[in-house]
Amino acid sequence: MVMLRLARFLFLFLVLVLTGCGEKQPVHYLATDITGVGYARDFRLTDQTGKVRTLADFRGKVVAIFFGYTHCPDVCPATLSDFAMAMKLLGKDAARVQVIFVTLDPERDTRAVLAHYVPAFNPGFLGMYADPAGTAALAKAFKVFYQKQPADGHGRYAVDHSAGTYIYDTQGRLRLYMAYGQGPPAIAHDISLLLKD
């Protein structure tokens, strides 16, 4: 009798285990999962080589897009450095990732400036820009805050702006919002998950 109960228990246990094997386990991102939001669907920008780009140009890659400006003293270089380190952590999978830096200061961040600044962090990174009106429209579409501060006596000024990064999956769907300062391991972790999705 005891053996029969034990056999039934083992059978039920095996059924439960084997049933669970076929189920997809939930994915735990370190960034905020924003899958399905109704904004930041696409962009049309000129890159540092002069080529007009849209999100569709990067189909098959995970795309990370960050808004900032080249004169930024802290957030922008730190974010680009974090993504550069994350690419190293990803190894060969980094070839399936496109990092895009969009300037919020097109008056100073010309194509030549972006071509010098952005690839200094990683040769595969792209700097992109629009005219001031296009920049304002895109920032609104992406819910990105930015505000130019008054210039000092030498004409220098800062631009206050949002500091997170949007990350799209390989199908061009917006999936994650990576807050500033989460660091290279978190970035690499979440991008790896999206590449397996």
Q: Which of 119, 131, 139 is nearest to 70 (CA)?
A: 119
Residue 23 lies in a domain: no
> What is the domain range of residue 113?
29-196
**pTM of the predicted structure, to 2 decimals:** 0.85
Number of domains in the chain: 1
Q: Rounded distance, CA 73 to CA 156, Å?
A: 12
Is 77 inside any structural domain?
yes
Residue 12 lies in a domain: no
* 134 located within any domain: yes
Looking at the domain assignment, is residue 7 inside a domain?
no
pLDDT digits (tens, 9 = 90+) for 43-64: 999 999 999 999 999 999 999 9
Does 184 fall in a domain?
yes
pLDDT the model gives residue 23: 53
72: annotated binding-site residue? yes
Confidence of residue 24 (pLDDT cuts 50, 70, 90): low
Q: Is 161 annotated as a binding residue?
A: yes
What CATH number is given to the structural domain containing 72? Answer: 3.40.30.10
Q: 103 in a domain, yes or no?
A: yes
Find the range with the poorest average confidence among 12-21, 23-32, 56-65, 94-103.
12-21
Establish whether 71 is an annotated binding residue. no
What would the pLDDT profile of 90-134 be if each residue is shown by its tens digit?
A: 999 999 999 999 999 999 999 999 999 999 999 999 999 999 999
**Is 19 a member of any domain?**
no
